[in-house]
Every structure is written in C-alpha cells, then in structure tokens.
C-alpha cells in the first residue's frame, strides 16, 4: 500500500497541473477586469485605426456643415477646418498667446490634481482606519461632490482673489471626490478571510495597511486617478473661465474669444482643450494598465 501511494502521489500532481492549466489559461484571457487583456491584443495601428477613422469622420461632417448647411453669410458660425488652421496656427499673434495660456492651464490642472490626490488619499486612509471617521467625513465628501461648482466659484473668488490660486482651488474641489471614493473602496476591498489571515499571523496595524489594504487598493486608486485627472482638466478650465486676473489660461481665452466672436481662435481653443483632456486621460489609462498589469501579473503589450 505504501509503495502504491508513493508512486501514485507525484503522478497525480503532474497530471493535475497538466490537466488544469490549459482551461485556466483560456479563462485568464477573458477574466482580467476592465478589459486589460483586450488592450494587449492587436498592434498600435490596429488600436489607433478606429480613432483616426472617427477623427476623419468628424472633419468630414465639419466640412459638410460649413459648406452645405451654412450659407456664406452665416459660415462664420462654423468656419471650415482649413480656415481655422490658417487663421490661428498660421498667425503668431493668435497661436503664441494660446499656447502660453494652455501651458498655464496645464500647470493649474497638474497642481490641482496633485493636491486632490494627496487630500483624497489621506481622507480615504483616515476613513479606512476609524469607522467613526468614515461616518463623520464621508458625508462631506459627498457634499463636495454634489454642490454645483458654479454655486461655489463666486465665493472662492471673493475669498481667494481671481488669480491662479483660486483656479487651483476650483480644480481641487472638482477633482477630489473620485480619489476619495475609489481609494476608500480599494482599501476596504480586501476580503474578510484575508484580514483573518493577517490577524492569525498577529500582523501589526502597519503591516495590515502596507501589505494588505494598500496593495489591494492599488487598482481602485488608479481608477480614481484616471477619473480625477479628467476632472482636474475640467476644473482648471472652469477656474480659468471665472478667474481672469493674472495670466490668462485657455479657459479665459475661450471666454474672451466668445465675447469678441473670434470664431477661428475659439474653435482652435476648443480643440486644444479637447486634446488636453484626451491626452491626460490616455496617459493615466496607460499608467493604470502598466502598473496594475505588472503588479497583478497580467501582461500588457
């Protein structure tokens, strides 16, 4: 009997691995959350082709509206793309201040995002440590999220002046909530059994935080970062729009162009803000895929 088992055990192991590996491999391709595996498939061209096609489509529709739907006298409402480019990119007097304004807004957005991330993560960490803190602090996070920012901005202007610091504050208020809620969700995502495991090993509170709760929160933190980054862009532009003192941001220019009916620069400014948003979102989405992929063993290429 002894001999029988001694021979039986290793072969049972070997066939178990062999038998169970292939179906799992098939599942892995489907399972990773957030479609991370999907991004791994296909070349850069394969992924960007639909985006390029959509862009071309937009330009085509733009031309059709400009030339077919609008009579010549009303064409200023939507000047055709080549005209927008010629009168803006081709004109240093327009493009130079616009790029300077864009840099100004990017700076505000990045500072705002950094502060929002710091505040949001600290806020969530505190709430994850004390149930009472969560009960007290969470409603304020929700209030921050639900107050229409337009109701607050005039007040912020009165208190903080109309320069860049006020713009940063608006940016932080708009961007902070996803950081708070996603970080908190992530910190609380470790299972009860995993906590039991740490309890059984007599882990300290610090070990529980650094080796369980924080690593478990990383995917959610990156989700929050992606959302907050998008909102920081909006926040910076909204701030620009309201607070015009000091150097102008792109949002400030948007307002100026609108008031003066400078249609070509207005369209370029809109395109810039859109690009700005897309670029920020893409950077953080890529960062998310890369870091979370590395950490959780899902290959991203």
Partner 1 sequence: MSTGTAAPKVTGPPPETTSSSDPATPTLAFRGVAKVFPTGTRALEDVSIDVRAGEFVSVVGPSGCGKSTLLRLAAGLDGATEGEVDVRASTTSFVFQEATLLEWRTARRNVELVGELAGVAAAERRRRAAEALELVGLAGFEDQHPRSLSGGMRMRVSIARALVAEPQLALFDEPFGALDEITRLKMQTELQRLFQLKGFAAMFITHSISEAVYLSSRVLVMSGRPGRIVDDIEVPWSYPRSPELRYEPEFGRIVGRLSHALEAHS
- The one among 115, 203, 271, 287 contacting partner 1 by CB under 8 A: 203
Q: For residues 19-48, which are near partner 1 according to CB under 8 A?
A: 19-21, 23-25, 28, 31-32
Does residue 301 interact with partner 1 by CB under 8 A?
no
Minimum CB separation of residue 131 from partner 1 in Å reads 9
- The one among 46, 90, 148, 297 contacting partner 1 by CB under 8 A: 297
Does residue 168 interact with partner 1 by CB under 8 A?
no
Does residue 211 interact with partner 1 by CB under 8 A?
yes
Between the CA atoms of 153, 159, 165 and 168, what dihedral angle is there, to the nearest 10 degrees?
-30
Q: Of 147, 286, 129, 97, whose CA–CA distance to 217 is shortest?
A: 129
Q: Which helix (H) or strand (E) holds 76?
A: none
Q: Which is nearer to partner 1, 74 or 206 (CB)?
A: 206
Does residue 216 interact with partner 1 by CB under 8 A?
yes
Minimum CB separation of residue 203 from partner 1 in Å reads 5
Neighbours of 67 (CB within 10 A): 13
Q: For residues 92-151, which are near partner 1 according to CB under 8 A?
A: 129
Dist. CA 183–CA 122, nearest whole Å: 9
Residue 183 DSSP symbol: H
Dist. CA 293–CA 6, nearest whole Å: 40
Which range in 44-52, 66-74, 213-221, 235-243 contacts partner 1 by CB under 8 A? 213-221
Dist. CA 167–CA 241, nearest whole Å: 9
DSSP-derived 3-state class of residue 41: coil
Q: Which is nearer to partner 1, 32 or 277 (CB)?
A: 32
For residue 48 the two structure tokens come to: 């960007």
Does residue 282 interact with partner 1 by CB under 8 A?
no
HSE, CB side, 13 Å, CA atoms: give it for residue 252.
23
Residues that bind partner 1 (CB under 8 A): 1-2, 4-6, 8-10, 12-17, 19-21, 23-25, 28, 31-32, 129, 191, 193-208, 211-212, 215-216, 218, 295-298
């Amino acid at each position: 009997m002894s001999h029988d088992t001694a021979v039986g055990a290793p072969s049972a192991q070997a066939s178990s691995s062999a038998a169970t590996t292939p179906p799992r491999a098939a599942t892995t391709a489907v399972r990773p959350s957030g479609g991370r595996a999907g991004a791994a498939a296909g070349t850069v061209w394969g992924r960007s082709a639909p985006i390029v096609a959509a862009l071309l489509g937009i330009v085509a529709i733009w031309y059709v509206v400009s030339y077919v739907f609008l009579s010549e006298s009303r064409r200023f409402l939507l000047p055709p793309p080549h005209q927008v480019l010629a009168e803006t990119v081709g004109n240093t007097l327009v493009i130079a201040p616009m790029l300077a304004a864009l840099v100004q807004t990017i700076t505000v957005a990045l500072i705002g995002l950094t502060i929002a991330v710091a505040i949001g993560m600290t806020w969530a960490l505190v709430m994850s440590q004390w149930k009472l803190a969560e009960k007290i602090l969470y409603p304020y996070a929700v209030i921050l999220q639900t107050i229409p920012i337009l109701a607050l901005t005039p007040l912020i202007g009165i208190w903080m002046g109309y320069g860049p610091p006020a713009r940063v504050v608006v940016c932080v208020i708009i961007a902070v909530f996803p950081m708070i809620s996603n970080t908190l969700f992530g910190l609380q995502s470790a299972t009860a059994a995993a906590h039991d495991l740490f309890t059984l090993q007599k882990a300290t509170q610090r070990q529980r935080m650094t080796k369980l709760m924080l690593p478990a929160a990383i995917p959610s933190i990156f989700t929050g970062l992606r959302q907050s980054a998008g909102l920081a862009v909006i926040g910076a532009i909204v701030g620009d729009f309201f607070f015009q003192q000091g150097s102008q941001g792109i949002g400030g220019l948007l307002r100026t162009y609108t008031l003066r009916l400078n249609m070509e620069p207005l369209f370029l400014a809109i395109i810039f803000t859109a690009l700005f948003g897309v670029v920020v979102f893409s950077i953080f989405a890529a960062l998310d895929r890369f870091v979370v992929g590395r950490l959780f063993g899902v290959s991203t290429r």
